[in-house]
């Protein structure tokens, strides 16, 4: 029977090059490596749909630490690990000794002796970097306040499927310069997309990340526009993307954010400026009537559930690539 190993040949990338590495931001792999992961994810998706098992992770275990709520990340990682032949263990951060002050470094060293990889969703990105520094196994970021790389990989897989290719695709992100925006903009500029990000003043992307993305765009033939003008960003766009105005951990700012983001709602008037074949994307969960209107997210251009499904396939490619 065909296996993904024999199916995936992307010049200049050896699957072994990924072994043991971390996935923390979305730009730790170069363009060829990202393209390989997308191709691998597509093949794993096709195999799963065809009922062809691919189980390279038999006997392997993934520890999943959650300090924040989750539906998609938790379920897709757990199911993905099972489909790859391994098992995943849910660990509530509050119930670990970590939640009572055990050092991150000790936790990293202990868990490295039990499990084969760790997926973590938490607040401070620095904590995940510390975990990665002290662990001897791959660390996968399942969302921090600063990055959401697994989401970005699934998003790019979705855009590639829907648009046929990535180079030059006009991607407009409208809303908060948050974790989802940071990883998406980094990976999309590495892959040569024409990225426009529109945020209200005071909610821009981290300037260091933006500068890094500009360099990636220069190297890939992509483009990057950062603006406060949502109409300018969406004009002629192939993809219109938004996310919640108040991310997890920022609830105290909710009232101020509702006012500050009011002009950045993705609605019919805004999407009328996009390409007639535009697709609407959102990482979910969504707040209808806030960052997006129901007619847009539930309308014919929306691919949000294809996007959510692709979390599973993209993360299977990551796990099968990184875990030794």
180 binds ligand NVA (CB under 6 A): yes
Query: How far is Cα 196 from Cα 199, in angstroms, rounded to an integer?
Result: 10
146 binds ligand NVA (CB under 6 A): no
92 binds ligand CP (CB under 6 A): no
Residue 243 annotated in active site: yes
**With the CA atoms of 16, 80, 10 and 215 taken in that order, what torsion angle do they form, in degrees rounded to the nearest 10?**
-90
Give the nearest distance from C-beta 26 to ligand CP in angstroms: 13
For 279, phi and psi rounded to 5 degrees?
A: -115, 145
119 binds ligand NVA (CB under 6 A): no
Length of the chain: 324
Residue 311 annotated in active site: yes
> Which one, 7 or 284, has the nearer CB to ligand CP?
284
281 binds ligand NVA (CB under 6 A): no
Place of tokens 């908060």: 176
Q: What are the Cα distances from residue 24, in Å, to 21, 27, 30, 48, 210? A: 10, 8, 14, 26, 17
Count interface residues toward ligand CP (CB under 6 A). Answer: 8
Sheet holding 170-174, edge to edge: 223-227, 194-198, 170-174, 239-242, 279-282
> Which one, 224 or 266, has the nearer CB to ligand CP?
266
For ligand CP, which residue of 213, 283, 286, 304 counts as binding (CB under 6 A)? 283
Q: Which residue is nearest to ligand CP (CB)?
A: 73
179 binds ligand NVA (CB under 6 A): yes
71 binds ligand CP (CB under 6 A): yes
For 65, phi and psi rounded to 5 degrees?
A: -95, 125
Chosen from ligand CP, ligand NVA, none, partner binding at 98 (C-beta under 5 to 8 Å by type): none
> Which one, 57 or 128, has the nearer CB to ligand NVA?
128
Q: Which residues contact 252 (CB under 8 A, 6 or more apart)?
A: none
4 binds ligand NVA (CB under 6 A): no
Chosen from ligand CP, ligand NVA, none, partner binding at 243 (C-beta under 5 to 8 Å by type): ligand NVA
Positions 166 through 195 that interact with ligand CP (CB under 6 A) = none
For ligand CP, which residue of 61, 73, 112, 158 counts as binding (CB under 6 A)? 73
Residue 125 annotated in active site: no
> Which one, 13 or 148, has the nearer CB to ligand CP?
148
Kindly state the tokens that stand for 321.
């690539």
Kindly state the tokens that stand for 191.
């892959």
309, with CB counted inside 10 A (0-12, 13-18, 19+), is middle
| Residue numbers annotated as active site | 121, 148, 151, 243, 283, 311
């Amino acid at each position: 029977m065909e296996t993904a190993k024999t199916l995936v040949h992307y010049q200049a990338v050896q699957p072994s090059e990924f072994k043991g590495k971390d996935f923390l931001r979305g730009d730790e792999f170069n363009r060829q490596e990202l393209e390989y992961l997308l191709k691998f994810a597509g093949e794993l998706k096709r195999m799963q749909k065809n009922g062809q098992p691919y189980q390279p992770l038999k006997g392997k275990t993934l520890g999943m630490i959650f300090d924040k709520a989750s539906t998609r990340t938790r379920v897709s990682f757990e199911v993905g690990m099972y489909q790859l032949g391994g098992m995943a263990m849910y660990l509530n951060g509050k119930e670990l000794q970590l939640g009572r002050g055990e050092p991150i470094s000790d936790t990293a060293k202990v868990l490295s002796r039990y499990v084969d990889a760790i997926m973590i969703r938490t607040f401070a990105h620095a904590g995940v970097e510390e975990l990665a520094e002290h662990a001897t196994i791959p660390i996968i970021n399942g969302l921090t306040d600063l990055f959401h790389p697994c989401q970005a990989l699934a998003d790019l897989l979705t855009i590639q499927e829907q648009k046929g290719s990535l180079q030059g695709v006009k991607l407009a992100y409208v809303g908060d310069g948050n974790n989802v925006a940071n990883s998406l903009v980094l990976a999309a500029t590495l892959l040569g997309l024409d990225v426009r990000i529109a945020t209200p003043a005071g909610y821009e992307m981290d300037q260091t990340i933006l500068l890094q993305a500009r360099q990636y765009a220069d190297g890939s033939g992509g483009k990057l526009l950062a603006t406060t003008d949502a109409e300018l960003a969406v004009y002629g766009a192939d993809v219109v993307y938004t996310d919640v105005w108040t991310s997890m951990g920022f609830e105290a700012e909710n009232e101020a954010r509702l006012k500050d983001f009011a002009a950045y709602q993705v609605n019919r008037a805004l999407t009328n400026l996009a390409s007639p074949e535009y697709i609407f994307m959102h990482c979910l969960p969504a707040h209808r009537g806030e960052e997006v209107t129901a007619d847009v997210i539930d309308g014919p251009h929306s691919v949000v559930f294809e996007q959510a499904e692709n979390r599973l396939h993209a993360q299977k490619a990551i796990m099968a690539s990184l875990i030794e």
